[in-house]
Amino acid sequence: MVERPAAALDDVRRRRVESESSASLMRRLGPRRRQRIWVRDPHSGGIKIPLAVRLRTEQRIRAYAERHYAKKFIRLGIRFRGALWYIDAYTEPESPSRGQLRAWGETRQQYLRRLRDVPLHLVRLRYFGNEEAWSLAFYTYSNERYEACTFPNSTFYGTPEEGFEVGAVYLRAR
């Protein structure tokens, strides 16, 4: 056996490591390799919302909205789809000018009826099995999609009322 100086051995090991695939290197290194860590993503997954939970939370949010924003909307639009819960508000439109009516080719009544049926998207809540811990996505009109966000207390989970309060920024602006 030929003996090599320590520096030469390090050089040989370094070349072998550089030439090995990452999978074989991980096998060779053994316990020092990185371990996979499962992380719960608050903005993906979830479980389908049971009917009893739907009814209870819808009743809660309607009562909350009536108490705090009674004159800001005509009605709430609530939709459930799998693990997601969408909350929209329908508001009374402003009266149109004569120029707007001429441009649209509508009467005042037709214009108001059409705009009363356009929802104001507020928030999307995601259910994970706990009625007091939902994740939140805020509807951004600049991108026309729901964007994941945190609750005002800087956590990813909160109650439906706290989520509604985040989306109500659009109602407060009216």
Taking 60 as the threshold, does the pLDDT of residue 21 lie above it?
no
Residue with tokens 């695939």: 21
Taking 90 as the threshold, does the pLDDT of residue 35 lie above it?
no
Q: DSSP code of 168? A: T
Single pTM value for the model: 0.73
- 118 phi-psi bin (left φ>0, alpha ψ -120 to 50, beta other): beta
Residue 53 phi/psi, 5° resolution?
-70, -40
Sorting pLDDT into bands at 50, 70 and 90, what band is 8? very low
- What pLDDT is recorded for position 148? 93
- At 21, list the tokens: 């695939």
- CB count within 10 Å of CB 85 equals 24
Q: DSSP code of 4? A: -
Widest pairwise Cα distance in the chain: 100
The per-residue pLDDT for range 76-116, each reduced to its tens digit, is 999 999 999 999 999 988 888 888 889 989 899 988 888 88
- Residue closest to 111 by CA, chosen among 120, 122, 119, 100: 100
For residue 109, the one-letter residue type is Q
Residue 111 contacts residue 100 (beta carbons within 8 Å):
yes
Residue 124 contacts residue 84 (beta carbons within 8 Å):
yes
Residue 123 phi/psi, 5° resolution?
-145, 165
Taking 70 as the threshold, does the pLDDT of residue 174 lie above it?
no
- What pLDDT is recorded for position 37? 74
Sorting pLDDT into bands at 50, 70 and 90, what band is 15? very low
**d(Cα 70, Cα 91) in Å, to the nearest integer?**
11
| CB neighbour class for 154 (10 Å; exposed up to 12, middle 13-18, buried from 19) | exposed
- Domain-wise residue ranges, the chain: 51-172
Taking 70 as the threshold, does the pLDDT of residue 142 lie above it?
yes
